[in-house]
Chains A and B, each alone.
Chain A
Amino acid sequence: MTIASAPRGRPVGTPSPARRRLRFDGWSLLSIVIAGLIAVPVVVVLAHVLVPTGPVWRHLAETLLPTYIASSLWLMIGVGCGTLVIGVGTAWLVTMCRFPGRRIFEWALLLPMAVPAYVIAYTYTGLLEYAGPVQELLRAVTGWNRGEYWFPEIRSLPGAAIMLTLVLYPYVYLLSRAAFLEQSVCVLEVSRTLGRTPTQAFFSVAMPLARPAVATGVALALMETLNDFGTVQYFAVDTFTTGIFRTWYGLGEPAAAAQLAAVLMLFIFALILFERLSRGGGRIHHTTQRYRALPGYLLRGGRSLLAILACLLPVALGFLLPGGALLVWALETAEEMVDATFVSFAVNSFVLATVASALAVAIAVVMAYGLRLRPSAIRTGAARLASMGYAVPGAVIAVGVLIPFAWVDGVINDWTRAVWGVEPGLILSGTICAVTFAYVVRFLAVSFNTVESSFGKITPHMDDAARSLGKRPIQILARIHLPIMGSSLLTAGLLVFVDVMKELPATLILRPFNFDTLAIRTYQLASDERLADASSAALAIVLVGIIPVMLLSLAIARSRPGTQLRSRGR
């Protein structure tokens, strides 16, 4: 028996109870370490349920908690219903009906996704407040004076629900549209031959088939609702996120803030459960693979006008109007506002977003490649765990990051003071370390999903071929996978980049002192009621936000052959 080369550097003859390659190895260890780090914030928050905070918590529970719960629930109900109706309705119209402008609406309906909720909230406040253009026009036309007329108060809970609905309905639209496109037209046509009208076919066949996707869309929108800080804070609606802030900064009670965050996590878990339940169990398999051109109910006259209006309204209110207002204000204030400090905010945003997206993509590649090399239970579990961050509100992550980071900093400083008599300061919690880490926790799922599906498109035989040609796994990653996946990695990075640019609550809590970003700048100017001055920063965020929307609409356009409706006649 020749043993010229001992495999894997293990001395030959060492008793080994099992196959080495099956066992624990570098990739698994790395996956676990990453998943463990990513899970730290949520674990910290949940662990604080056990920390006694006595009177503070009792005070919170008796006075504010019911308010937080009630307004969070009302917001969720409002946003849930609103996104459901707008999202599913417009998705049905653009996929199944034919009317002028449909092809434009297909992608235009996604545009509001580019606008962060807090930006649209500031913009509408600027438009609808007493001194804003709408009321001024009203007074000029009618001659009324202050107090002589009633005007709806935008800065209220219903107002917040409307703002959130306007920017979150694209989630539902996107997923229900994809579900409608997947449905076989044959099934719909059968229902027509069995005597259903188009409307009846929608409710009895199309909707039930699309239900899992719709539920996922609504669940995503609701998670974003719970994540929102900027809108509710500005509108003075007491929800969990504002409560966490107030408890942390106002009362100076990190532990109680963490406990509020833990209660908020209950809402998130409930949402995840709801999404799983509505998806699981009766997983629907399409019985036919025949995807012919969609029927394209031809709408004429008044009905087509109604369809146009139904699609135009969400786009206009969610993007065109606020975007236009921002543009006008930005042009008016540009001279004053776009200066060296503005550039430094933009640079800060850019640096943070670049670092975070590079990290998120790199980590996603490590975890996804680990899964590809050997999809063990450990690695799958680690990847699943690490992707949960997307459901966790930024404020919760911020609290969960700051508490342990501050503790580690304290330990380091105590130690160096004892040994060398110097204090290095807040190495973790006082630098961009903390905020970058929070971004990675929150947005890793975004990059992971993209990277994983990109890996999935490369046949495993590619790896096998490369290995039999003498390359080690790490070389294969560098030589085969990364070059092939190039553009997907860029996309993954870009998606994280934009999410980071828009992120507000975690940035607000975790950014280093005097380290302001465009989002922070927008928030601060708006808080000072300088809405017009905030417009240039806000507009910059919206413009960057359009990039992923474009990527998304390209992706759906390519997703299925036969997406195009029959062009002529029936």
Chain B
Amino acid sequence: MSRDFVLTLENVSHTFEDGTKVLSDIGFSVSRGEIFCLLGPSGCGKTTTLRLVAGLEPLSHGRITIDGEVVADDKIDLAPERRNIGFVFQDQALFPHLSVHDNIAFGIEHLPRAERRERVMDVLAQVSMAEYADAYPHTLSGGQQQRIALARALAPDPPIILLDEPFSGLDTRLRNAVREDTLTILKERGTTTLIVTHDPEEAMYVSDTIAVMRDGGIEQIGAPGELYCKPVTPYVALFFTAANRVRGIVENGVVGTPFGAIPAPGFATGARVLVLMRPEALLIDPKGGPPRANSLGSAEGTVLTARMLRRSVFTHLDFGEFNGERLHFHASNPGHFMPEEGARYRVDLDPDQTFVFPIRDKG
């Protein structure tokens, strides 16, 4: 077993006591110092995975290794208090009857008094809350509570820290700031982190590696850029942004789209495929010049309406009938060019944001 991995899950399947199956055969490894994210919609099993790692839920099947020690498999089930992991909850769960200092000291009571005090003040300084040692949780703001929760989890210096939707309880403006702070602290300390979120933007912002989860399984694991640019399933592609889609049948390595035939490498003739085109892939040409060099193809579309969204313009386009279906596509182009309503424009298709997936029977 490689020493580089702080956490490894192998063949983990899980069924709740009431018989609900939540995880089926997932596995992944988190390297030392890595921020690893489980991303998925609610109910996909990501929080359960976190609880299994922490030992808060007894594992049904598989093996979990933390820092080289098997903490859960078919025979072993180490109690959560003996796993030495840090856990930060969505609702912070600070102990209301203990001061900030005592909250943080709670996990390091085995240390001598002076050392304990020193350690508490250290982590408090790291989260920039040193002057709040004697405050009580209810006097702190949401963002401050979040920092204390993080400090409390970090104080025992666990090999890995688990964050369960740590920012979703905060309001939008605060969330970005706290997220930024947390990322800085974790990276500065080099803390190995497993974080759970349902927000793709957040996942991309904080993670080194993301595992996209769906219905108790892992769809794809990779760096954020890899997932975004090379999704292996339509689910992964669509999780980050909505996309325009057409279905088609592959003939001689290509599939027909409104933009012309585009390559479908690796598919046999007759294979049914789904073509996903991100709004960013539909490049509206304002001037009517020659098609772009790397474009997969072009088509003329009628502008239904266009809206300015901060740094880009979002355009609703009508491409007429295709395979008996009326095509209403979305395009998102950077800059401030506003297409005219009702006007026709040539639209080029960017290959980097266009994906061809097989259509499996029933799926």
Contacts and interface: CB of A to CB of B under 8 A. Distances in A.
B76 A464 contact: no
Contact of A483 (B97, B156, B162): B97
Interface string A6-30: 0110001110100111100000000
Interface string B83-94: 111110111010
Contacts of A14: 75
A468 B95 contact: no
Nearest to B73: A1
Interface in B16-68: 17, 51, 54-56, 58-60, 68
Contacts of A13: 75
Nearest to A464: B56
Given A470-B81, A484-B96, A464 B106 contact: no
A470 B156 contact: yes
B87 A471 contact: no
Nearest to B83: A468
A459 B96 contact: no
A5 B70 CA distance: 10
A457 to B, nearest CB: 11
B89 A465 contact: yes
A284 interface: no
B86 A468 contact: yes
B124 to A, nearest CB: 16
Contact of A468 (B56, B69, B90): B56
Contacts of B222: none
Interface in A343-371: none
Contacts of B51: 464
A469 B107 CA distance: 4
A469 B76 CA distance: 20
Contact of A472 (B81, B97, B149, B162): B81
Interface in B91-112: 91, 93, 95-97, 106-107, 110
B75 A12 contact: yes
B177 interface: no
A543 B58 CA distance: 52
Contacts, number: 96
A440 B188 CA distance: 57
B174 interface: no
Contact of B77 (A4, A21, A459): A21
Interface in B200-258: none
B80 A19 contact: no
Contacts of B93: 459, 461-462, 464-465
Contacts of B278: none
B79 A7 contact: yes
Contacts of B95: 462, 465-466, 480, 484
A2 interface: yes
A2 B90 CA distance: 32
A192 interface: no
B96 A7 contact: no
A20 B77 contact: yes
A472 B77 CA distance: 15
B106 A466 contact: yes
A7 B86 contact: no
Nearest to B85: A468
Contacts of A58: none
A468 B54 CA distance: 7
B130 interface: no
Nearest to A20: B77
A464 B87 contact: yes
A464 B56 CA distance: 7
Contacts of B68: 2
Contacts of B3: none
B97 A484 contact: yes
B81 A5 contact: no
Residue among B58, B79, B107 having the largest count of chain A Cβ atoms under 10 Å: B79
Interface string A457-489: 001011011111111100000011001100000
A479 B162 CA distance: 23
A3 interface: yes
Nearest to A486: B97
A1 B54 contact: no
Given A4-B69, A12-B75, A471 B56 contact: no
B147 interface: no
Contacts of A470: 81-82, 84, 107, 110, 156
B75 A459 contact: no
Contact-size category for B: 35 or more
B82 A5 contact: yes
B91 A459 contact: yes
A471 B82 CA distance: 8
Nearest to B110: A470
A438 to B, nearest CB: 36
B70 A19 contact: no
Nearest to A468: B87
B296 interface: no
A467 B153 CA distance: 11
Residue among A12, A13, A462, A468 having the largest count of chain B Cβ atoms under 10 Å: A468
Interface in B135-177: 149, 152-153, 156, 162
A16 B73 CA distance: 12
B8 to A, nearest CB: 12
B146 to A, nearest CB: 13
B185 interface: no
Contacts of A464: 51, 54, 56, 80, 87, 89, 93
A469 B106 contact: yes
Residue among B51, B77, B85 having the largest count of chain A Cβ atoms under 10 Å: B77
A469 B152 CA distance: 8
B81 A12 contact: no
A471 B81 contact: yes
Contact of B70 (A1, A471, A472): A1
A157 B96 CA distance: 55
A468 B77 CA distance: 14
B56 A467 contact: yes
B17 A22 contact: yes
A263 to B, nearest CB: 40
Contacts of A21: 58, 77, 79
Contacts of A2: 68-70
B78 interface: yes
B344 to A, nearest CB: 50
A483 B107 CA distance: 18
Given A1-B70, A2-B69, A462-B95, A7 B78 contact: yes
A272 B64 CA distance: 49
B50 to A, nearest CB: 10
A419 B82 CA distance: 50
B76 A7 contact: yes
A150 B152 CA distance: 80
Residue among B56, B85, B93, B152 having the largest count of chain A Cβ atoms under 10 Å: B93
B75 A16 contact: yes
Contacts of B96: 484
A303 to B, nearest CB: 47
Given A12-B76, A14-B75, A484-B97, 9 more contacts: A13-B75, A21-B77, A462-B95, A464-B54, A464-B80, A466-B95, A468-B153, A469-B153, A469-B156
30 contacts: A2-B69, A3-B70, A5-B82, A7-B77, A7-B78, A8-B77, A8-B79, A12-B76, A14-B75, A19-B58, A19-B59, A21-B79, A459-B91, A461-B90, A464-B80, A464-B93, A465-B87, A466-B95, A467-B54, A468-B81, A468-B85, A468-B86, A469-B152, A469-B153, A470-B82, A471-B106, A472-B79, A472-B81, A480-B97, A483-B97
Interface of A: 1-5, 7-8, 12-14, 16, 19-22, 376, 459, 461-462, 464-472, 479-480, 483-484
6 cross-chain pairs, A with B, having the tightest CB-CB distances, nearest first: A469-B107, A461-B93, A468-B87, A467-B80, A461-B89, A465-B93
Interface of B: 17, 51, 54-56, 58-60, 68-70, 75-87, 89-91, 93, 95-97, 106-107, 110, 149, 152-153, 156, 162
